[in-house]
Amino acid sequence: MTIEWFVILSALLFATGALGILLRRSPMVILLCLELMLNAGNLALVAFSRMVGNGQGQVFAVIVMVIAACEVVVGLGLIVAIFRRRLPLDVDDLRELRG
C-alpha cells in the first residue's frame, strides 16, 4: 500500500474535524472534532514513520495522544462546569470575552 492513501485519509479526517469545529455550536461536539483533528495528525505521523522506517514519528504520535488526553480532561471539565451553572451549552452564547 502506498503512502498516498494514508495521507488522503488523514487529510479527510482533518478536514472533517475542522469543518465540525467551524460549523457546530455544541462544546461537546467541538471537543470531539478537535480529537478527530489530532488523530488525523497522528495517522499521518505514524504513516510517515513507517515510510521512513524509524520510530521517531511514532514517538510523536504517543506524545500527541498524551496531550489530547490532557486537553480532553480540561475541555470536559469546562463543559461540566458550564452545565453545572446552568449556562447554555452553546459556544455562540458564551461570548462574554469579546473585545
Partner 1 sequence: MSVSFWAWLVLLFPLLGSIVIGLGYRVLPAKVAGAIGTVAIGLAFACGVAALLSLLGDQPEARHHASSLWNYASVAGLDIKLGIFVDPLSIFMVLVVSGVSTLIHLYSYGYMQSDAGYHRFFSYLNFFVFSMLLLVLAGNFVLLIVGWAFVGFASYALISFWYRRETATRAGMKAFVINVVGDIGLVLAAFLIFRELGSFDYGTVFERAPEVFSTNQWSITAICLLLLVGAFAKSAQLPLHTWLPDAMEGPTPVSSLIHAATMVTAGVYLIARTHVLFELAPTAADVAAFTGLATLLVAATMALVMTDLKRAIAYSTMSQIGYMIMGVSIGAYSAGMFHLMTHAFFKALLFMAAGSIIAAMANDQNIDRMSGFGKAMRFTSITFVCGALALAAFPGSSGFFSKDEILAYAAARGGMYVIFTVLGYAGALLTAVYSFRLVFRVLHGEPCDEARELIETGHVAHEAPKNPATGEPEDTDVGFPGPEHHIAEHSAPMRVAMGVLAFGAIFAGLVQVPGVDDVVTKFLDPVWAGSPLAAIEPSTLADWEGLGIGGVIALLGIGVAYVLYVARPELPRRLETRLRPLHTLFANKWYFDEAIDFLVVRPALAVGRFANRVFERFVVDGLVSGTEGGVRGAGGVVRAVQNGFVRSYALLLIAGFAGLALYFLLSSS
Instruction: Answer yes or no whether residue 21 interacts with partner 1 by CB under 8 A.
Output: yes
Rounded to whole angstroms, how far apart are CA atoms 7 and 49? Answer: 12
Instruction: Answer yes or no whether residue 96 interacts with partner 1 by CB under 8 A.
Output: yes
Q: Are 61 and 46 in contact (CB under 8 A)?
A: yes
The correct pick among 4, 22, 49, 84 for binding partner 1 (CB under 8 A) is 22
Question: Given the complex with partner 1, which of 85 and 95 has the nearer CB atom?
Answer: 95
Q: Is 58 exposed, middle or buried (0-12, 13-18, 19+ CB in 10 A)?
A: middle
- Give contact residues for partner 1 (rule: CB under 8 A): 18, 21-23, 25, 30, 91-92, 94-99
